[in-house]
Structure formats: structure tokens, C-alpha cells
Copies of this chain bind each other. A is one copy, B any other.
Amino acid sequence: MEKIVHAGLLGMGTVGTGVVKILAKNAHDILQKVGMPVNIKKIMVRQLDKPRNVDSNAEFTTNIDDIINDKDIDIVVELMGGIEPAKDYILQALRAGKHVITANKDVVAKCGQEILQVAEENKVDFLFEASVAGGIPIIRPLKQCLAANKISEVVGIINGTTNYMLTKMTNEGLDFDSVLAEAQAKGYAEADPTADVGGLDAARKIAILASIAFGSRVSVDDVYVEGITNISKADIGYAKELGYVIKLLAIAKDDERGIDVRVHPAFIPSSHPLASVHDVFNAIYIKGDAVGETMFYGRGAGEMPTASAVVADIIDVARNIKHNANSRILCTCFEEKSFCPVEQTESPYYIRLLVEDKPGVLAAIAGAFGAQLVSLHSVIQKSKVANCSELVLITNQVADASLRLAINTLAGLSVVNKVCNVIRVEADNFG
């Protein structure tokens, strides 16, 4: 009898539902591609009696043991999210000799190394394409398609919520709070939007990408994080005026100073490919020593795009089963590279100030920068309100540490009423 590949799903939320739909709809094509049928045998859920908006012949259970102990099940697909019990179930499955696929960025970003080691010991696959950037192929391209390259840079727009918000702010001149409320109403932002707007979600994803791109483990704690909560309508307006757009970038660089990984809002030139990534779309820009610049663009979240990535992993594992080639590609972190502290990273900066409207102000400000050897690229003096002027500065390339010292001095000047915002400019840094 022809072998059937059996999968067990842990979780039947949005992505799980998408996985069931795709495997049903495209069953014929997938059978031809794999050479064997792929079947979902069991699905673990929290509530057996909850109504589902998709039909499945799978057996539903609330007990993980029904899946772990089922000898027929080759692949466990973890779609629960969070660290525990997801991690425990993943490890149980791997130790039971089952291949595991996950869409869970939390568990991969935090426990990826440990999990990959257990997969290696048990000679089974552990794949997680859906954990970063939803439907966009990015893990497999890094591990396979770009494997000939030494990757020096990964720059991503990998949080759909914040990109939607920044796009709205840019196109419609709206402020942060009203755009956040709209995003929440549309279901693009969660009731507690902290992980998205604070940058943590992007930090988890860039930790995963940096680990693979540089072949050296990067954990989420190694990522410097700033969110977009202090980006105002005014900053967006100045960016536009200066030929830039503001994006929440996840940046990972590997050079002689070490690995530099950060998430923060940044000015990018409006002509850069990443500047045209609008709304909830994601994109990842990669620089390799052979390929040069390349970019991967698509939908970073949602039922079907994320399920597209999960099912690609299922097909890959099934093809490995067919050819007895599991554990063909596992952990690729062969090095232990050092990190470059954020203080040593360099870029131009945009600075927006409220200053007294009187003679000598500009000289005092220029002096504060000069003392830290920070040179200014351009200065725009703007709208006067009462006795106040808004002053916008773009510095030349400067180390983060020097910039911070200059800003501290500035904030102490009597002629400076307020340092409104400080945002990095990523310009010559890429492209």
C-alpha cells in the first residue's frame, strides 16, 4: 500500500484553519509534487465543541498524548503560539521521532538553538518558514537560495501593524493615536498593541533572520529596540519634505565591528525599494557578497499567506520522507560572532527641536554638536509659535554614542525648549 504522510496539528485558530483549507483545496497538486498523499490525521484543540469554519476529517482531541503517541503521525505542526506549552510539545514530538513545523516566532526566537539541537539528535526536521514574514519565502531562501553568499545586511519591514499605521500617517496626514484606533478597529492592531508598536514583534523576527543570515546565534535580547510610539505627524511631514519616508526597520548587519541588530524607526530615501512597501505588506532586503542586493516582498501575516508557508514546510518534510532525507538542512549557526554595541553603530540622524526664537540660538546649537565632533548636513528653520521656532537638523554620519552626548548637551541649553524627536537616517547605509 502506498505510504501516506500523516500530520497532527496543534491548534486550530486562524493559521490552522488556513492549513486545513490549502491541503484540501490543492490536494491533487500536492500529491503530485510530493509523490505521496498528505493527510491531517489529528488536530489538538482547547475546546472540542467549538464551531469551526472549515470541514476536516481529522480526529479532534484535547490531549497532546493522542498525537505524540500516534505512531502513524510523521509531522507535528505547532500553531499554538507562545513559549509554553508549545516548546514542551515541540520537544516531545521531536524526541518521539516526529518532524516538527511551527509558525511560532516566540519559541523560535527564544529557544531555536535548543530545539534544533534536539531535532539534530533525533535526525528529524524542524522547519519554521512561517515564523517570519508570513507568506514571504525568507528562511528557505537564506538557508538554500543564497547559501553561496556571505550575507552582510538584512533590512526588513517585518511588522504589518506598524507599517500599516506609518503608511496611513504618511498618506493621510493623520496622527499616531487616530491611526492606531483605526488599525485596532480593522483588526490590524491588537487591543494591547505594545508588542507591535513597541518593536518587540519585529525584534523576535530579526533575531531569527540574523541567526540564519550570519550563521551565528542572535537572541531577541541581543536586539536594540525602539518602537514608533513617538513618531508624530510633524516628523512624517518633514521626512516627506526632505525626500524620505519613515519606516519601522529591523536591521541586522555583520561587519568587522561585529553583529549589529536593531529595530527602530528610520528615515529611508523615498526611492529605495523598501520605501514602496505599503500598508500591511512586509519586505526583506538582503545584501550578499555575490548576489548583491535582493528583496523579498509579500504579505507578512494573515490566515492564507501564513498557511502557505506552513504547507510549504509540510511539502518539504514530506519530500524528505519520500527520499529518506530528513534532517537534510538543520541548524546553520556554525559560528559564535561577537556583537557591536549600539553605541558604536553609525548613521546620520534627524533631530527635531523647539528653540527660542532669538539671535545666537543656532550658534549655541551648532556648538553643542561641534563639541562632540558631530557635523551637520542640513538645517531647516520652521514655523514660529509664540516665541518658539521649530528647528530640524540632519547630521552627517555619526556614532550613536557621540550623538547621545550632543543631545544631552543640547537638552541642557537654555535656548532649547524641547528635543522633540531623534530618528536615524538609513541612507548611504544601504543601496
Chain A residues with CB under 8 Å of chain B are 18, 22, 25-26, 29-30, 32-33, 129, 135-137, 140-141, 144-150, 215, 271, 273, 276-277, 288-299, 302, 304-305, 307-312, 314-316, 319-320, 322-325, 327-329, 332, 334
**Is the CB–CB distance between B289 and A305 below 8 Å?**
no
CA distance A299 to B325 in the complex (A): 32
Q: Which of B145, B294, B304 contacts A290 (CB 8 A)?
A: B304
A292-B298, A325-B325 given as contacts; is B26 within 8 A of A308 (CB)?
Answer: no
Q: Which of B33, B271, B290 contacts A18 (CB 8 A)?
A: B290
**Is the CB–CB distance between B292 and A304 below 8 Å?**
yes
**Is the CB–CB distance between A140 and B144 below 8 Å?**
yes
Nearest CB in chain B: distance from A12 CB, A = 17
Taking CB atoms, residues of chain B closer than 8 Å to A315 are 144, 147-148
Closest chain B residue to A314, Cβ basis = B148
Closest chain B residue to A142, Cβ basis = B137
Nearest CB in chain B: distance from A123 CB, A = 10
Nearest CB in chain B: distance from A298 CB, A = 3
30 A-B Cβ contacts within 8 A? A25-B150, A26-B289, A26-B290, A29-B150, A29-B215, A33-B334, A135-B294, A137-B137, A137-B141, A140-B140, A144-B312, A146-B312, A147-B312, A147-B316, A148-B311, A148-B312, A148-B314, A273-B276, A273-B297, A289-B304, A290-B304, A291-B304, A293-B299, A294-B297, A295-B296, A296-B297, A319-B328, A322-B328, A324-B325, A325-B328
Q: Which of B26, B298, B307 contacts A294 (CB 8 A)?
A: B298
Taking CB atoms, residues of chain B closer than 8 Å to A276 are 271, 273, 276
Count chain B CB atoms within 10 A of each CB in A144, A311, A329 and give the residue with the most. A144
Taking CB atoms, residues of chain B closer than 8 Å to A137 are 137, 141, 145-146, 294
**Is the CB–CB distance between B29 and A312 below 8 Å?**
no
Copies of this chain in the oligomer = 2
Taking CB atoms, residues of chain B closer than 8 Å to A319 are 328-329
Taking CB atoms, residues of chain B closer than 8 Å to A296 are 294-297
Nearest CB in chain B: distance from A116 CB, A = 14
**Is the CB–CB distance between A145 and B312 below 8 Å?**
yes
Count chain B CB atoms within 10 A of each CB in A294, A325, A327, A328 and give the residue with the most. A294
CA distance A148 to B308 in the complex (A): 6
Taking CB atoms, residues of chain B closer than 8 Å to A289 are 25-26, 304
CA distance A312 to B144 in the complex (A): 6
Taking CB atoms, residues of chain B closer than 8 Å to A290 are 18, 22, 26, 135, 304-305, 307-308, 311
**Is the CB–CB distance between B305 and A299 below 8 Å?**
no
Nearest CB in chain B: distance from A47 CB, A = 26
CA distance A1 to B288 in the complex (A): 33
Taking CB atoms, residues of chain B closer than 8 Å to A314 are 148
CA distance A307 to B295 in the complex (A): 18
Taking CB atoms, residues of chain B closer than 8 Å to A311 are 147-148, 290
Taking CB atoms, residues of chain B closer than 8 Å to A292 are 135, 298-299, 302, 304-305
Q: Which of B29, B145, B271, B277 contacts A141 (CB 8 A)?
A: B145
Closest chain B residue to A23, Cβ basis = B148
Nearest CB in chain B: distance from A71 CB, A = 24
Given A291-B308, A296-B296, 9 more contacts at CB 8 Å?
A: A29-B150, A33-B334, A140-B140, A144-B144, A144-B315, A144-B316, A148-B308, A148-B310, A290-B311
**Is the CB–CB distance between B332 and A33 below 8 Å?**
yes
**Is the CB–CB distance between B328 and A149 below 8 Å?**
no
